[in-house]
Amino acid sequence: MYYNDINYTYSQNIFDICNPNLVYNYLYVYNTQNDNIVEFTVYGEPKGKGRPRFRRFGNFTTTYSDAKTKTLEKNIRDSYTNSRFNTMDYNTSPIGVDINFFMPIPKSLSLKKAKELIDKPHTKKPDVDNMCKSVFDGLNEKAFKDDSQIWRLLAEKRYGIIPRTEVRLTYY
């Protein structure tokens, strides 16, 4: 599932490649399922989970997520649902999770520097732990009953031509 971004290149201009309207028509979407592995890809720039918001009604205070976070979690949930070949209830077994976040290359860079950045570690914001939390919250009650079932996590954040999040769930 984890293909090198160079394989997706169809243009010599890195900034044309970074334009999602041009790229997504040329992608082969790779989704698979076997007995214990589910892999799927969420296209678009990966984001971290937003901070909780608070609302007060008289003496009661409630928390809620902002609209951007809800949209992000819905996209993750929809990508998971579309990757499944059958509709199965969530699993209650231990889960190993591998997540690759591919961040967009800054448009201010020269073509030479942009090509050098491909597949290099991304060390700027957002934090990888907040990005993982948004994936887990999007998959709650869909891929697993609760994110406490996750016993192994491998997360990487790097630059890529196509901004996306690749997720692999292994049920044990």
- Give the whole-angstrom CA distance, residue 11 versus residue 29: 19
The Cα–Cα gap between 91 and 86 comes to 14
pLDDT, tens digit, 9 for 90 and up, residues 105-160: 999 999 999 999 999 999 999 999 999 999 999 999 888 888 899 999 999 999 99
Q: In the chain, how long is the greatest CA-to-CA distance?
A: 60
**Mean pLDDT over the full length of the chain:** 80
Q: Which range among 11-15, 21-25, 39-43, 81-85 has the greatest average pLDDT?
A: 39-43
**Span 67-88, mean pLDDT?**
80
Instruction: Provide the pLDDT confidence category of residue 2 given band limits of 50, 70 and 90.
Output: very low
pLDDT of residue 143: 87
Closest CA to 96 of 143, 131, 129, 51: 143
Q: Indicate whether 21 pLDDT > 50.
A: no
Domain 5-171 has what CATH class?
alpha beta
pTM of the entire predicted model: 0.76
pLDDT value for 125:
92
Reported as a single tens digit per residue, the pLDDT across 32-49 is 546 688 889 999 999 988
SS3 content of the chain, % helix, strand, coil (to 5): 30, 30, 40
Q: What local confidence, expressed as pLDDT, does residue 122 receive?
A: 96
Provide the residue ranges of all domains of the chain, joining segments of one domain with +.
Answer: 5-171
